Amino acid sequence: MLTSAGTGTTDAPGRGSAVAEDVLRVPRRRQLTGLLLAVILLVLAVTASLVIGSRAIPFGTVLAALLTPDPSSTDHTVVLDLRVPRTVIGLLAGLALGLAGALMQGITRNPLADPGLLGVNAGASLFVVAGIAWFGVTSALGYVWFAFAGAFAAAVIVYVVGSLGREGATPVKLALAGTALTALLTSLITIVLLSDAEAFDKYRFWSAGSLVARDLDSTLPLAPFIAAGAVLCLLAGRMLNALALGDDLARGLGQNLVAARIVCAVAVVLLCGSATAMAGPIVFVGLAVPHIARRFTGPDYRWILLYSAVLGPVLLLAADVLGRVLGGSGEIEAGLVVAFLGAPMLIALVRRVKLAGL
């Protein structure tokens, strides 16, 4: 319950929620226009992913391959066996990473939160390495269970360490805890790989963060996990809006903080674990996408999550296409391109955002 300033009266929870939503409101036309633009960009990114590559294939041929495939056509084989799988994986992994980044920034109230920066990807990677080296796991469906366990363990450790002290889980402490944990887990990954040459051969390509050489038979079974995480995101929008106002005010508005954090944590584990198992530990997608979305949505997480689900695939597919173009006869992995583009954005955010304790 909230007390109105200067009156001593008590606002009803419903009225408090309405006031909170008024604070978050941005002109609907701006939100819808931005969403339409994002969808158009997604269509263009998917088209480019199917058309552009080391082998030039006209758009008409791509359509023919999708609608009336000819097994004897080399171009059709390239489209269906190579470009369609990596496009689908880019869509799923990009959606998962975009949503996970928005959730992490909302639940921690940390503008630098990202599955890669807070150690979640490193935790998933360590457990996947253990699965490869000690249990002989070779498929994305096998990786995912190890990735879930590693992502959950890393998220818990970072939050616990970042919560130590009187100030609680401040953005700076969470970022530092995530950085320290990532360094530790990376060292452990290196130790495991140096002791097992066969595991290193399997891991080195996956770890670069790539959409290529993944087949749909082993990756599409991960789609239900991403769908479940996305559904939880739909439930989390109002929760994150309440949490953005601070824990005390969120409680006053009737928000169950424990339930909100559990829902968001489960969603993050499902999304990060699936994306990491599917495409490797790709960083910066979850960092960049929510900040781009806020330029059109304002601080309303219901819209931020919706935008992130569209812009995540746009960024990842665009990076994949750019890697094909810049790589010439070879390719630059999408994860490397995203990291190259994301590093300047991280520096700009650190310079612009005033973080508590800095």
Residue 56 lies in a domain: no
How far lies 171's CA from each of 124, 159, 163, 221, in Å? 22, 11, 10, 35
Question: Looking at the domain assignment, is residue 21 inside a domain?
Answer: no
How many residues comprise the chain?
358
CATH number at 186 reads 1.10.3470.10
Here the tokens at position 121 are 């990807």
Domain assignment of residue 242, yes or no: yes
Would you state the torsion angle of the CA atoms of residues 139, 141, 143, 144, taken in this order, to the nearest 10 degrees?
A: 160
> Can you tell me whether residue 137 is helix, strand or coil?
coil
Number of domains in the chain: 1
CB 244 within 8 Å of CB 108: no
- The amino acid at residue 313 is P
In-domain check, residue 14:
no
Cα 172 to Cα 223: distance, rounded to the nearest angstrom: 34
Q: Which domain holds residue 207?
A: 28-38+75-352
Whether 82 is in a domain gets the answer yes
Strand segments, DSSP code E, in the chain are 2-3, 10-11
In a domain, 65, yes or no: no
pLDDT tens-place values along the chain, 358 residues long:
333 334 433 344 444 444 445 555 677 888 889 999 999 999 999 999 999 887 778 889 999 999 998 888 888 988 888 889 889 999 999 999 999 999 988 888 877 778 877 788 889 889 988 888 888 877 777 788 898 999 899 988 988 888 787 776 666 777 788 889 989 998 998 888 888 777 777 777 666 667 775 677 778 888 999 999 999 988 888 889 888 887 788 888 777 877 888 888 899 989 988 988 888 878 888 888 998 898 888 889 999 999 999 999 999 999 999 988 887 667 788 878 888 877 777 677 666 654 444 4
8 falls within a domain: no
- 59 within some domain: no
